[in-house]
Amino acid sequence: MSARRDIHLVCGGKYHDIDFVRLELLKLLAEDEGFRVTVAADYSDIDALEKADALITYTCELLPSEAEQDALAAYLDSGRRWFALHGTNSRLEYVKGTGWTAPEAPRFMEMLGSQFVAHPEIQPFTVTPSKSHPLVDGIEPFEADDEIYLCRFFGEHECLLETRFSGEAPGFAESDWTHSDHVPVMYLRQWGNGEVLYLNLGHARGRYDMQPLMDEYPDIERGSWKQPAFYELLRRGMRWMVNMEMRDAA
């Protein structure tokens, strides 16, 4: 029988099918009978965070307040782990004539280790392990039909998964990425006594998730949620965040 571990899940924000993602993450967490989960749509439940053994987040354009950032910093400084997914590192503003811009949010993004800046149009790309590590050992290169997150980075990282991209990201203020090549997809980052594991895959969008920008989005997008390898990475990340031994690759 697994020992009890209290997990705090923050799942909320804009332009993504948060309901779909929340359900998928809860189903994965339910595979371990020792996981007891609190669920929030933002970072405001500081009490739940303080009591948690582990934190997992899937958000978009959700910037914590200063007090909430204090709580996140204290959480990491205590030696605990944060598994951050997809748009957790995003903060966007639309500027007419310029496109989507990424205003600085230095403290929060420095904790995470990166800030989303742009992505090209959704397209298939190959995700490849960067090194040997229990989080990725046995994961074969796989095709992800997802968003390639192009980011600015802070501090040192241990890159575990990567892809390649050089080109344009239409619609974003920083659209020229022809200088780019190596693009981290998953990395580990030390913060104080704690650690952050960030995996930028996991785009999901339903019919009504672009309101008020448009009444109905033409397609249902499930990105890497169609890939068994992505679910295996999520399972391993969930075990990592509570210091449990990694499972073998599926």
**Which helix (DSSP H) or strand (DSSP E) does residue 99 occupy?**
strand 99-101
Q: What are residue 91's phi and psi, to 5 degrees?
A: -150, 110
pTM of the model: 0.96
What are the pLDDT digits (tens) for 131-152? 999 999 999 999 999 999 999 9
What are the pLDDT digits (tens) for 201-244? 999 999 998 898 899 999 898 999 999 999 999 999 999 999 98
What are the pLDDT digits (tens) for 46-105? 999 999 999 999 999 999 999 999 999 999 999 999 999 999 999 999 898 899 999 988
Report d(CA 212, CA 70) in Å as an integer.
Answer: 32
Q: Is the pLDDT of residue 250 over 70?
A: no
Number of H helices, E strands in the chain: 5, 15
Q: Is the pLDDT of residue 23 over 70?
A: yes
* Domains in the chain, CATH or no CATH each: 5-116+185-240 (3.40.50.880)
List, as own/partner pairs, every contact residues 221-227 make where C-beta atoms lie below 8 angstroms and the sequence separation is at least 24, other chains included.
Answer: 221/17, 221/122, 222/20, 223/122, 223/144, 223/145, 223/146, 223/147, 224/144, 224/145, 224/146, 225/20, 225/21, 225/24, 226/145, 227/142, 227/143, 227/144
